[in-house]
Amino acid sequence: LAKDFEQTIASATAWLFIASIQLFTRRIARLSNYTG
């Protein structure tokens, strides 16, 4: 059970990481559009 719990935390962290990267890239794209 503990092993499965660690796996869940790891995958949740990975998804959070992926989501934050997508947000970050979108924000950068928006900023670069503003600057021309």
Whole-angstrom distance, CA of residue 31 vs CA of residue 33 = 5
Q: What is the pLDDT of residue 34?
A: 79
pLDDT averaged over 10-residue windows placed end to end, the chain, 36 residues = 83 95 94 80
Q: What is the pLDDT of residue 36?
A: 65
Is 0.85 surpassed by the pTM of this model? no
Q: Using CA of residue 19, residue 25, residue 31, residue 36, what is the dihedral sign?
A: negative
